[in-house]
Structure 1
Amino acid sequence: MTNYDITIHTRDRQRVSFACSEAEDLLSAADRESILLPSQCRKGTCGACVATVTAGAYRLGEVSMEALPENAQARGDVLLCRTYPRADLILEAPYDYNYIRFERIPEREAEVIEVTMVATGMRRLLLRLQPDAQGGAAEFEAGQFMEIQVPGSDARRAYSLANNTNWNGDLEFFITLRPGGAFSTYLESALVGDRLNLRGPLGTFTLRENGLRPRWFVGGGTGLVPLLSMLRRMADWGEMLPARLYFGARYEDELFCQEEIREIQDKLPQLQVKICLSRPGNQWADYRGSVMDALRDDLGSLAVLPDLYVCGSTRLVQGVTELALSQGLPDSCLQFERFLSA
């Protein structure tokens, strides 16, 4: 069987190469050579392993249109877990070289410290890593996620981290309860002291160093969670870049982390915040409308274009991306993560 040469160029102009047969997907071929590229579901549904083919022929297997829309496919975007080479391939990845692993992804055990209801249908889950040979610290990049194993099952669910790296080993999550969901069902009866198995950190939705360019953060629902982690890192590091947060929900009882946002503002006085409700009550005093409406109002009157960090539903990410590009923001200013059913 013919093997083809696969070369992936990272965002910081480094590269990795490996061989792949026409019967093997690119992600599996890289794994075989101990090159662990960023990925998650490996089923063509989450979009975490996206890259862009710049040279060569390939066959793209079945993928979710949410994870890889037709317009993305038309410009050469692929999901590595569903791409089979028909010639030597050259691809560009939307992340830096340091996000590629060449060793096993860490697996840790953590203890449940707190489970509390913080909004309608939402729980805050605080875990503390158990010390191992590497120590007990929680080390990750702001914006990354962990995979938590569902107790009594081999299934894992991915959840973004809300806090910042710390020596205590604390990991903070805000999780929407899904009716009948495997992990949601566990959370309904979770107890302090339970032990959970975790894998990670994972993900490439992280802060980029881009000079003095302002940072705007746009989140819908639990899309706020990784943005909180990023803002907390900026606060802890004393970063004084201009920043804005747009957080959207439908109803007021769906809002969460309002006190945490105020605490961040105390440390980041330059941070402007717009809490947007698309279905506000009569007493709502903040922005009345969607985050898209608020963003459209503000993007039109800028002298300096910001970096946009967007997290939420496919609809939100697509809408913000189209709006930003129509206002002249280049692709390089956009960082996004979609919440999809994997």
Structure 2
Amino acid sequence: MDLIVRPLNRTLAVSPGANLLQLLREHNVPISYSCTAGRCGTCRCKVTRGHLLESGPEAQTFRVKEGQFALACMSVLTESCEIEVPEPDEIVIHPARVLKATVVAVEDMTHDIKRIVLRPARPLSFSPGQYAQLQFTPAHIRPYSMAGLASDEELEFHVRLVPGGRVSSYISSKVAVGHPVRVSGPLGTAYLREKHIGPMLCVAGGTGLAPILSIIRGAIRAGLVNPIYLYFGVRSPLDVYGENWLQDLAREYPNLSVQVIPASDATGLARRTGLVTDAIASDWGDGLKDFRAYLCGSPPMVEAASLLLEQRGIPPEHIYADAFYSSGT
């Protein structure tokens, strides 16, 4: 049977039962991957014809139909099919690692956001915009996005304290300088595409600013000159943080435009308010087709922004998003 790989237009002769990721690697087909265990999502591809069998992290096998996305590392070929691998020129490979790290700083950024800085025992390789799993104790594990770069000596994370949240409450009451942390990663597909030369739209909600900061810092480090438009949405002016970082980045990167938008503002200051999606809809018509978009925040915000940007002309494959879910916070 055959496997057709688009957009490379390659046809591979395969045997039933072959693992898709292993097969692609054996035939030197460029594809991103990291954990090889169905957790990071990096090796996602689209089935454009035929079917695959996919077993997720909980080993629940099901058939992926035409038009659905599948994780190559968890997929088995049972018949001839056709897949589409994303952006062959933007492949990233950071083999997943588990590192020991130590907390070196804990800072209050707002009334409910803390900045946690870790010093890992060994460097963690990742692309700007990715995240890692932090384990403070066997019972307190949670994914958080890096705000810095892999070249930094330290790892920076922003944590929102959720009332009653198991992990964030532990961080608030127990985590201090010297606390050991186990770091697993990298994870995520919303990483900076360095070969894209067009404009970039970045949308952050709350602590979703962390990976967006990483992406902007990565663009500067890579010497990019793309116009970057950042919309940073928060609940109120009390929830705004990192404006000094954004101002410094704008001075260093003249092509960066920053808008900080509280949903409401009772202070009377002359600041734009409302939803970030409404602001984007007001600022942009249907001329976004050459953009790449990076979204990070709550699932409702990410879903609404994704839908809007598709309507404004950005193809779904050029919208990169890792939503923040509240489970286990």
Q: TM-score range by the shorter chain?
A: 0.7 to 0.9
Q: What is the distance in 1 between the residues matched to 2:178 and 2:146?
A: 20
1:36 to 1:270, Cα distance in 2 relative to 1, 3 A: closer
Is 1:57 the counterpart of 2:51? The answer is: yes
Q: Which of the residues 112, 125, 134 maps onto 1:121? A: 112
Displacement of 1:245: 0.4
Is 1:170 the counterpart of 2:154? The answer is: yes
Q: Kindly indicate whether the alpha-carbon contact (under 8 Å) linking 1:274 and 1:286 is maintained by their aligned counterparts in 2.
A: no
State the TM-score, normalizing by the size of structure 2. Answer: 0.78
Match of 1:69 in 2: none
Displacement of 1:82: 8.1
Match of 1:75 in 2: 67
Q: Kindly indicate whether the alpha-carbon contact (under 8 Å) linking 1:20 and 1:26 is maintained by their aligned counterparts in 2.
A: no
The range that moved more, 11-20 or 294-303, is 11-20
Q: What is the distance in 2 between the residues matched to 1:16 and 1:193?
A: 52
State the TM-score, normalizing by the size of structure 1. Answer: 0.75
Q: What is the distance in 2 between the residues matched to 1:50 and 1:116?
A: 36
Displacement of 1:291: 0.6
Q: Please give the residue correspondences for 1:96-111 in structure 2 after superposition, counting only pairs within 5 Å.
A: 96=88, 98-99=91-92, 105-111=96-102
1:111 to 1:90, Cα distance in 2 relative to 1, 3 A: same
1:14-70: CA deviation from partner (whole Å, max 9, x where unpaired): 89998775xx9978999xxxx994569958xx976643212223567899xxxxxxx
Q: Please give the residue correspondences for 1:17-56 in structure 2 after superposition, counting only pairs within 5 Å.
A: 21=17, 37-38=33-34, 50-56=44-50
Gaps of 5+ in 1: 64-71, 132-136
Q: Which of the residues 294, 315, 326 maps onto 1:330? A: 315
Q: Which of the residues 133, 137, 143 maps onto 1:151? A: 137
Q: Which amino acid aligns with 2:129?
A: G
Displacement of 1:205: 1.4
Q: What is the distance in 1 between the residues matched to 2:91 and 2:11?
A: 11
Q: Please give the residue correspondences for 1:297-308 in structure 2 after superposition, counting only pairs within 5 Å.
A: 297-300=282-285, 302=287, 305-308=290-293
Match of 1:277 in 2: 262
Is 1:262 the counterpart of 2:247? The answer is: yes
Give the superposed CA RMSD: 3.9
Identity value in percent: 28
Is 1:243 the counterpart of 2:234? The answer is: no
Q: What is the distance in 2 between the residues matched to 1:76 and 1:310?
A: 21
Match of 1:66 in 2: none
Is 1:87 the counterpart of 2:79? The answer is: yes
Q: What is the distance in 1 between the residues matched to 2:113 and 2:20?
A: 37
Aligned length: 314
1:10 to 1:55, Cα distance in 2 relative to 1, 3 A: closer
Which SS does the other structure have where 1:149 is aligned?
strand
1:247 to 1:128, Cα distance in 2 relative to 1, 3 A: same
Q: What is the distance in 1 between the residues matched to 2:129 and 2:11?
A: 24
Q: Which amino acid aligns with 1:144?
A: Q
Q: Which amino acid aligns with 2:259?
A: K
1:51-93: CA deviation from partner (whole Å, max 9, x where unpaired): 3212223567899xxxxxxxx9883234668877663444334
Which SS does the other structure have where 1:329 is aligned?
coil
Is 1:140 the counterpart of 2:112? The answer is: no
Which SS does the other structure have where 1:52 is aligned?
strand
1:257 to 1:79, Cα distance in 2 relative to 1, 3 A: same
Q: Which amino acid aligns with 1:105?
A: A
Which SS does the other structure have where 1:216 is aligned?
strand
1:209-265: CA deviation from partner (whole Å, max 9, x where unpaired): 355311111111122211100111223344322111001011111122111111111
Which SS does the other structure have where 2:268 is aligned?
coil
Q: What is the distance in 1 between the residues matched to 2:155 and 2:16?
A: 37
